[in-house]
């Protein structure tokens, strides 16, 4: 007969199908149930005690005994195909086909393997350890790392686990680690054939190899970091300088820290208190060079952009041929017949703007009857507009051409002309410098001197890499070009 204790145990399980084998009296109003878990007719032990390993195949316990609660399928209460239904069970296994166990995982005696043997991925990955092929003869599961398809075995030629190393690259490429270091460090020319170098690079790409920069830094005593100091990024010019510098730096395994001067132009605060410990070198624009007094004194290699080539503090300089650009702009206007020219000069004490002013004055002075006036202006559209209005509204003969130190000032000058009722280029011609996107956004489009900003950044970084290799770079001067557009034309007739 079923005892009160047996009833208590049976009540703890989820409600299942009607039991078959119990001879004891069931609950009032219910068919007599076997003492097995969830009404499982195969779950009772033959002697009425708890079955430690699962159910015997012979049906319910004569004594209404109950199997261990650890045999319960974690999905049995929610899944209609779980162990609560006799028809949905696999023979000899208390779990349903939809449970976390796959078919055939029971022991030959029908007992369920312990829950700790379950593979957590068996119902998601058909090749995981829960597949029938991974069973052991006693019905217990093999470990989840079994070599079934999709179980994570290493692909041929790839490291078994973790990050690829130079040793892996050397093994796949069939070369020594020293050769890998030469090729990936760009020191292979003259030591390794082009074919071998490409084989090493291909192996590195296939393996997803990335050098351990931290280890390399410790070994070489370098941080592989360069500081780029520019004026505030209020225009795209210095953003393009950064793009060119960063591209070359990446090719050499270096990173670039961009430090825009907080004031925009002129001296900026020293960005690092311990620059020597943080950087391998510095590239700086002439408009922010004084920010680096401490860095200069720290012995770091310094490359100056758009800067005085006679600056003794710079190990190398990269310049645009700014003087030639100013001469091209002046010559273009003078050939069109302009003789009254005004210069909207950037109000910044910088080498590059001093060169522009000097070259422009020299070019105009060479033409008889030509005259040049100068009006300083801050580097903004609004300041350019105000400066141009002052020039164009003065008593006396009005200038017929405005030469502006950059495209921002030129945009301000165009705005001033329209406010004064003047037409561009019929009444006044306007030129700029830089060839920013703004130059083709204004109407009419702006005649300007194109400055190759990305080439400046790239040349500066190549010069610094040469310095870090222990060699002496040559000072660089990059050519510039005048781009004639619709903002210039012959002067109006008197």
Above 70 in pLDDT, residue 246? yes
What is residue 369's predicted lDDT score, i.e. its pLDDT?
A: 96
pLDDT band for position 290 (cuts 50, 70, 90): low
Specify the range with the lowest mean pLDDT, choosing from 115-129, 168-182, 273-287, 346-360. Answer: 115-129
For 264-305, what is the HEC assignment?
CCCCCCCCCCCHHHHCCEEEEEHHHHHHHHHHHHCCCCEEEE
CATH (residue range 166-211): 1.10.260.40
Instruction: Give the Cα separation of 137 and 165 in Å (integer).
Output: 41
pLDDT tier at 340 (50, 70, 90 boundaries)?
very high
Helix pair 166-173, 177-184: axis angle to 10 deg = 100
Residue 133 has pLDDT above 70, yes or no: no
CA distance 386 to 231: 23
Does the structure show a pLDDT above 90 at 400?
Answer: yes
Share of the chain above pLDDT 70, in %: 58
Share of the chain above pLDDT 90, in %: 42
pLDDT of residue 124: 38
* Structure-block tokens of residue 316: 């190398």
pLDDT of residue 156: 46
Delimit the domains of the chain by residue range: 166-211, 224-494
Contact present, 203 and 172 (Cβ < 8 Å): yes
Given a contact cutoff of 8 angstroms between Cβ atoms, the answer to whether 129 and 145 are in contact is yes
- Give me the pLDDT at residue 322, please: 96
What mean pLDDT do residues 238-253 have? 92
Computed over every residue of the chain, the mean pLDDT equals 72
Residue 150's pLDDT is 39
With tokens 């000097």, the residue in question is 358
What global pTM score does this model have? 0.57
Most confident range, picked from 3-12, 31-40, 332-341: 332-341
pLDDT in tens, 375-388: 999 999 999 999 99
Segment of 106-120, 143-157, 261-275 carrying the highest mean pLDDT: 261-275
Ramachandran region of residue 29, left (φ > 0), alpha (ψ -120 to 50) or beta?
Answer: left
Order across the sheet with 340-346: list the strands.
371-377, 340-346, 401-404, 429-434, 447-450, 481-483
Asked whether residue 13 carries a pLDDT value surpassing 80, the answer given is: no
Pairing of the two strands 429-434 and 401-404 = parallel
Closest CA to 234 of 346, 124, 389: 346
**pLDDT tens digits for range 187-200:** 788 889 999 999 99
Q: Provide mean pLDDT across the span 463-490.
A: 95
Q: CA of 373: how far to CAs of 358, 404, 449, in Å?
A: 12, 12, 20
Residues across the chain: 494
- Lowest model confidence (mean pLDDT) among 142-146, 225-229, 324-328, 449-453: 142-146
Report whether CATH 3.40.50.2300 matches the domain 224-494: yes
């Amino acid at each position: 007969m079923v005892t009160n204790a047996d009833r208590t145990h049976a009540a703890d399980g989820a409600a299942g199908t009607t039991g078959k084998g119990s001879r004891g009296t069931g609950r009032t109003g219910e068919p007599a149930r076997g003492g097995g878990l969830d009404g499982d007719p195969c779950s009772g032990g033959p002697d009425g005690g708890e079955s430690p390993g699962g159910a015997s195949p012979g049906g319910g316990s004569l004594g209404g005994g109950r199997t261990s609660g650890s045999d319960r399928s974690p999905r049995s209460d929610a899944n209609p195909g779980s162990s609560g239904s006799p028809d949905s069970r696999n023979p000899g296994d208390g779990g349903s086909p939809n449970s976390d166990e796959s078919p055939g995982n029971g022991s030959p005696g029908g007992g369920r393997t312990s829950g700790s043997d379950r593979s957590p991925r068996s119902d998601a990955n058909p090749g995981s350890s829960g597949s029938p092929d991974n069973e052991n003869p006693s019905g217990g599961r093999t470990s989840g790392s079994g070599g079934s398809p999709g179980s994570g075995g290493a692909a041929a030629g790839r490291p078994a686990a973790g990050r690829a190393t130079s040793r892996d690259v050397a093994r796949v490429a069939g070369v020594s680690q020293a050769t890998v270091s030469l090729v990936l460090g760009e020191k292979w020319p003259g030591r390794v054939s082009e074919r071998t170098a490409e084989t090493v690079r291909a192996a590195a790409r296939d393996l997803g190899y990335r050098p351990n920069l931290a280890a390399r830094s410790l070994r070489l005593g370098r941080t592989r970091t360069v500081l780029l100091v520019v004026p505030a990024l209020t225009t795209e010019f210095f953003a393009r300088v950064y793009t060119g510098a960063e591209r070359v730096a990446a090719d050499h395994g270096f990173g670039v820290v961009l430090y825009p001067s907080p004031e925009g132009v002129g001296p900026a605060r020293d960005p690092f208190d311990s620059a020597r410990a943080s950087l391998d070198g510095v590239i700086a624009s002439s408009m922010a060079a004084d920010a680096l007094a401490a860095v200069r004194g720290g012995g770091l290699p310094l490359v100056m952009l758009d800067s005085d080539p006679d600056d003794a503090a710079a190990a190398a300089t990269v310049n645009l041929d700014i003087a030639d650009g100013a001469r091209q702009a002046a010559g273009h206007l003078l050939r069109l017949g302009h003789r009254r020219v005004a210069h909207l000069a950037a109000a910044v004490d910088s080498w590059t703007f001093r060169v522009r002013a000097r070259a422009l004055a020299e070019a105009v002075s060479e033409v008889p009857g030509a005259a040049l006036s100068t009006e300083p202006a801050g580097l903004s559209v609004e300041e350019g507009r105000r400066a141009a209005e002052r020039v164009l509204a003065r008593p006396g003969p009005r200038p017929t051409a405005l030469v502006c130190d950059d495209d921002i000032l030129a945009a301000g000058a165009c705005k001033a002309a329209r406010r004064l009722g003047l037409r561009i280029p019929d009444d006044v011609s306007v030129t700029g410098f830089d060839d920013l996107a703004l130059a083709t956004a204004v109407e009419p489009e702006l005649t300007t001197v194109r400055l190759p900003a990305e080439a400046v950044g790239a040349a500066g970084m190549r010069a610094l890499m040469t310095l870090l290799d222990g060699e002496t770079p040559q000072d660089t001067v990059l050519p510039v070009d005048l781009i004639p557009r619709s903002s210039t034309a012959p002067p109006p007739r008197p």
